[in-house]
């Protein structure tokens, strides 16, 4: 008996889902909502270049005496990497600059380093980097032994001590690691999920409420069945649209399982926001106002994650689910730790999802009364 009831519910949910998908293709407004992110992604794929900017490394140097180490690093470096050296007054100032992302790496050179290295005095060179160094930091660190050998003309006799400095802005180099084109197409994927959840889904729900179609559906289905069908509409639309967008823009994903998991969780969260929004609308015309009120900060928070904003502004952005979705998708596309503390993104995104669906459940209970 329970099995028959479950089978009946599944058939009802599938029927509602099929109806919503057909309505989406028939309604020019919904179809436009679905196509807009794809067109934006195509635009970025043609306007922006695949290549990232020229590789560069910004090096800070604190030297107690005159040293030729920067010149030696330049002599062994590739011409394809732009090196910039900056003299810093003290180690604390150097730590702040490395931590904030203004410098890729910091070198604390002891007194008479050049002479002591040549004479076998084994001086200690302190190297300041963040836990997840940028390309520039890793590149210069790899050159140090060869650089000192070039400086001394013999096998270098020195100690190198690496000091990890906590990074304050681990997203500052996201444009360099992903490239502007890939990041903007990645944002278009987030925008696609957002448009489906906040515009397409509430439009269908509001029209059904206005035309009393929802009342007819509730004769054969419960509010829970309708919500599940609407949520599946959002997830299916995103699951189809996002891969197509990546294919037509020729963007490769290095860690596809991570990408799929992050997009599924993020879409589920955004669909919940759309369901909650749609439950308060009595007609589709209200969506133009309230949809913008909801979507603008969510879309803006997503794209702002790649702009290297001040730490205070980034802290505010981290309250938005789309900011964490962008962080997780960026790591998946790059296949490396573009952003650190991803556990925080998973936790906050999951928390948003739970809270939103609790509110959706509460709203449904109010509608049933």
Distance separating alpha carbons of residues 329 and 256, to the nearest angstrom: 10
Buried b (16+ CB within 10 A) or exposed e, 27-50: beebeebbeebbebbeebbeeeee
Buried b (16+ CB within 10 A) or exposed e, 327-365: bbbbbbbbeeebbbebeebbebbeebbeebbeebeebbe
- The SS3 call for residue 131 is coil
Nearest Cα to Cα of residue 153 among 45, 72, 226, 224: 72
**Residue of 204 and 74 predicted with greater confidence:** 74
The pLDDT value given to residue 42: 67
The tokens for 348 are 């906050």
Distance separating alpha carbons of residues 307 and 303, to the nearest angstrom: 7
Instruction: Tell me what the mean pLDDT of segment 22-40 comes to.
Output: 70
Helices (H) and strands (E) in the chain, counts: 16, 5
The tokens for 130 are 């963040």
Instruction: Tell me what the mean pLDDT of segment 77-89 comes to.
Output: 87
Confidence of residue 273 (pLDDT cuts 50, 70, 90): very high
Residue range 299-357, pLDDT digits in tens: 888 877 777 666 677 778 888 999 889 888 888 887 766 676 788 889 999 999 999 98
- The beta strand positions in 158-283, using DSSP E, are 159-164
CATH of domain 56-164: 3.40.190
Cα 23 to chain centroid distance, Å, stands at 32
**Residue of 369 and 179 predicted with greater confidence:** 179
List the domain boundaries for the chain: 2-49+179-368, 56-164
Distance separating alpha carbons of residues 237 and 130, to the nearest angstrom: 40
Q: How many CA atoms lie within 13 A of 290 on its CB side?
A: 19
Are 177 and 336 in contact by the 8 Å Cβ rule? The answer is: yes
pLDDT > 90: what percent of the chain?
A: 10
Confidence of residue 268 (pLDDT cuts 50, 70, 90): very high
**Residue of 160 and 274 predicted with greater confidence:** 274
Contacts of 112 (CB under 8 A, 6+ apart): 65, 123
What pTM was estimated for this model as a whole?
0.67
Nearest Cα to Cα of residue 268 among 189, 185, 196, 340: 196
The pLDDT value given to residue 171: 47
Residue range 346-363, pLDDT digits in tens: 999 999 999 998 898 888
Distance separating alpha carbons of residues 100 and 32, to the nearest angstrom: 42
Q: What are the residues facing 57 on neighbouring strands?
A: 83
């Amino acid at each position: 008996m329970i099995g028959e009831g479950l089978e009946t519910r599944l058939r009802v949910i599938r029927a509602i889902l099929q109806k919503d998908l057909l309505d989406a293709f028939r309604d020019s407004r919904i179809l436009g909502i679905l196509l807009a992110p794809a067109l934006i992604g195509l635009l970025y794929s043609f306007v922006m270049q695949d290549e990232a900017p020229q590789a560069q490394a910004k090096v800070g140097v604190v030297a107690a005496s005159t040293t030729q180490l920067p010149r030696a690093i330049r002599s062994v470096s590739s011409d394809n990497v732009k090196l910039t050296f900056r003299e810093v007054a003290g180690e604390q100032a150097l730590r702040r600059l490395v931590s904030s992302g203004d410098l890729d790496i910091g070198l604390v050179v002891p007194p008479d380093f050049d002479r002591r290295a040549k004479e076998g005095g084994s001086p200690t060179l302190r190297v300041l980097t963040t836990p997840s160094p940028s390309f520039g930091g890793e590149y210069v660190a790899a050159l140090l032994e060869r650089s000192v050998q070039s400086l001394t003309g013999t096998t270098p006799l020195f100690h190198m001590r690496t000091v990890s400095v906590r990074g304050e802005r681990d997203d500052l180099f996201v444009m360099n690691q992903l490239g502007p084109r890939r990041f903007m197409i990645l944002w278009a994927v987030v925008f696609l999920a957002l448009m489906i959840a906040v515009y397409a889904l509430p439009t269908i729900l509001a029209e059904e409420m206005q035309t009393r179609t929802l009342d007819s559906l509730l004769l054969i289905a419960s509010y829970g069945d309708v919500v599940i069908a609407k949520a599946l509409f959002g997830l299916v639309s995103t699951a189809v649209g996002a891969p197509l967008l990546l294919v037509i823009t020729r963007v490769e994903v290095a860690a596809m399982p991570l990408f799929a998991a992050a997009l599924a969780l993020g879409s589920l969260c955004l669909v919940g926001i759309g369901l909650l929004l749609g439950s308060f609308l009595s007609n589709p015309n209200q969506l133009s106002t309230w949809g913008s009120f909801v979507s603008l900060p969510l879309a803006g928070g997503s794209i702002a994650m790649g702009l290297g904003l001040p730490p205070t502004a980034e802290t505010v952005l981290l309250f938005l689910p789309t900011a964490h979705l962008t962080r997780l998708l960026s790591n998946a596309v790059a296949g490396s730790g573009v952003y650190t503390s991803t556990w925080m993104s998973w936790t906050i995104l999951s928390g948003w999802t739970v809270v939103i669906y609790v509110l959706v459940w509460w709203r449904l209970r109010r509608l049933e009364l």
